[in-house]
Homo-oligomer: A and B are copies of this chain.
């Protein structure tokens, strides 16, 4: 089992969700995050003083999947989130040792989906 973490632009979340659904990945968790990456921040001004926004608003996805779903998940995320412009985001993959469904106590591969 793997844990896929992805940081994407907020605007692309609907497209990513769509792409995941098409590949039958229905379970995801989303949090707001602030990110600092290649994408330069933008400048706001407020009352004439500068604000350098170096932490950009991003959305963090966390998706636990079985091995055979890793590739589709990555594809789906790229599909939905890639615009080719700096700031599209990153995908991180970690191994996941165990997964438990709280409701039933089911474990492992069964619990993930």
Contact = CB atoms under 8 A, between A and B. Distances in A.
Interface SS majority for chain A: strand
Chain A, interface size: which category? 35 or more
Contacts of A81: 102
Given A97-B95, A102-B88, A33 B36 contact: no
Total copies of this chain within the assembly: 3
Interface string A73-107: 01001100111111111111111111111110100
A41 to B, nearest CB: 12
Given A34-B29, A36-B27, A36-B28, A99 B103 contact: no
B95 A82 contact: no
Interface of A: 2-3, 5-8, 17, 26-38, 54-55, 58, 60, 62, 64, 74, 77-78, 81-103, 105, 111
